[in-house]
Amino acid sequence: MFLNPFLYDTDKAERILEQLNNPDFYLKSLDEYQKMQQLICLNEQLTALLEVDDYSEFEITTDS
């Protein structure tokens, strides 16, 4: 029978609970998520630019 070592690793469980109860953990994750969304948006804009011959209709912005 396989026993999950995390079930008996109380130090690991306590560290996870500390992270989940720490608002900075969520803010850091949210900040990383927003940065990733901005990169995805920029990537889509640049990909669209590469697919056309007439660039006059495009305006690249960094706003999401």
State pLDDT tens for residues 16-50.
888 888 777 777 778 888 888 899 898 888 888 77
CA dihedral 35, 33, 27, 63 (to 10 degrees): 40
CA dihedral 54, 59, 62, 64 (to 10 degrees): -100
pLDDT of residue 1 exceeding 60, the answer is: no
- Look up the pTM and report it: 0.43
